[in-house]
Amino acid sequence: MSLMMSNALELSLLCLLVASVSACDDKSTVGCTKDAECKGNRVCSAGACVDAKPAETSPAEAVVSPAEEPKAAAADRKSAPATPAAADAKPTPPTEPAKSTQASCRVLLEHVTDVLRTTGSEATKAGLKSPEASIARCEAQTNDPVLVQCFMDATTEAAVDACNIAGFPGEVDGTATRRTEALEDNSGLTPPIFTLDGDYMSWDKDCGILYREAPPAGALFIACKDKVKIGPIVNAAKLDSVMAELSDQSRSRHDLVMGIIDNYPKGRLGVKVHVYDSDGTYRGIQER
């Protein structure tokens, strides 16, 4: 049996097994020498009639319908060879959450206390208290991280003062939320005066000292009729200077008022006034 015949026989047996009509076209699959000997669109290749290869499709003609697009894309991904970078790529480990750089209230308050204890004026040192009492209030507040860092970087009393001043860059609300009188005994207040934002202590019917907070910064202000006039005041020396100036002004105003009253042509006016001696010491209320 020639090689050509054996090929034809093998093809005939295959046709019977798979019952494929297209594979079993009689003599068209048996040896050929040219395309004209093959039926239909078949061509002669290596002595056998075979189906002609389809013409290559240009990119413009290779249009995939929307329904077939996902399948086509998946097939392309499977058939595409892996690039070296993709083959060597390792899964990125999950990023750990950033750790907070904001100092705890205990660390912050202890640091500021140590700075003032070592570099502060005598008046500042005399007024220092243990930070323990302030830790709970500090933790209950929303502290500005920029100011926290400012205080943590401070190494002198002047630097601490600058951080407190930095907390009040613009106009400050002069509204008081807890009012007291300077000539009253305020020792029983809880918490003590000038520890709550908006604490106010008046020395006359119009003006007084106001405490405001911009956590963790805090400062005193001179406010009159709910309007801030002077401040921020952030240390004992500055407060003493401001109060001395105000006392001189108050004494002068008092002397002026008393002169007007004493020289009023009808005598006593029947008004009550606060009386101070020549040293500025308060002597009580007198009727004039």
Q: Could you read off the pLDDT of 194-253 as tens digits, one per residue? A: 989 999 999 888 999 999 999 999 999 999 999 999 999 998 888 888 888 887 777 776
C-alpha to C-alpha distance for 244 and 147, rounded to whole angstroms? 31
Q: What is the pTM of this model?
A: 0.54
**pLDDT band per the 50, 70, 90 thresholds, residue 150:** very high
Which 3 state secondary structure label does DSSP give 198?
coil
C-alpha to C-alpha distance for 126 and 117, rounded to whole angstroms? 9
Most trustworthy range by pLDDT among 22-26, 69-73, 172-176, 239-243: 172-176
Specify the pLDDT at position 76: 55
User: Is 288:269 a contact under the CB 8 Å cutoff?
Assistant: yes
Residue ranges covered by each domain of the chain: 1-45, 105-166, 172-232, 235-288
**pLDDT band per the 50, 70, 90 thresholds, residue 165:** very high
Average predicted confidence (pLDDT) for the chain: 74
Q: Which residues, 6+ apart, have CB-to-CB distance to 124 below 8 Å? A: 116, 157, 235, 236, 237
Answer with the residue of higher pLDDT: 282 or 134: 134
C-alpha to C-alpha distance for 227 and 223, rounded to whole angstroms? 5
Residue 262 has pLDDT above 80, yes or no: no
Residue 282 φ then ψ, to 5°: -70, 130
Residue 85 has pLDDT above 80, yes or no: no
Specify the pLDDT at position 147: 96
C-alpha to C-alpha distance for 247 and 28, rounded to whole angstroms? 125
Residue 185 has pLDDT above 70, yes or no: yes
Which 3 state secondary structure label does DSSP give 262?
helix
User: Is 219:161 a contact under the CB 8 Å cutoff?
Assistant: no
Mean pLDDT on 123-140: 87
Q: Could you read off the pLDDT of 270-284 as tens digits, one per residue? A: 555 566 666 666 667
Q: Which segment of 18-22, 113-117, 129-133, 284-288 scores lowest on mean pLDDT?
A: 18-22
Specify the pLDDT at position 89: 54
**pLDDT band per the 50, 70, 90 thresholds, residue 1:** very low
Helices (H), 48-194: 69-79, 84-88, 105-119, 122-126, 132-140, 145-153, 157-166
* H or E, element range at 275: strand 272-276
**pLDDT band per the 50, 70, 90 thresholds, residue 51:** confident
Specify the pLDDT at position 227: 95
Q: Which residues, 6+ apart, have CB-to-CB distance to 254 below 8 Å? A: 273, 274, 275, 276
Q: Could you read off the pLDDT of 228-238 as tens digits, one per residue? A: 999 999 988 88
User: Is 175:226 a contact under the CB 8 Å cutoff?
Assistant: yes
C-alpha to C-alpha distance for 55 and 276, rounded to whole angstroms? 114
Residue 102 φ then ψ, to 5°: -80, 130
Residue with the two structure tokens 């140590």 = 114
Q: How crowded is the C-beta side of 89, counted as CA atoms within 13 Å? A: 8
**pLDDT band per the 50, 70, 90 thresholds, residue 11:** very low
Identify which of 72, 77, 138 has the alpha carbon closest to the alpha carbon of residue 111: 138
Specify the pLDDT at position 238: 87
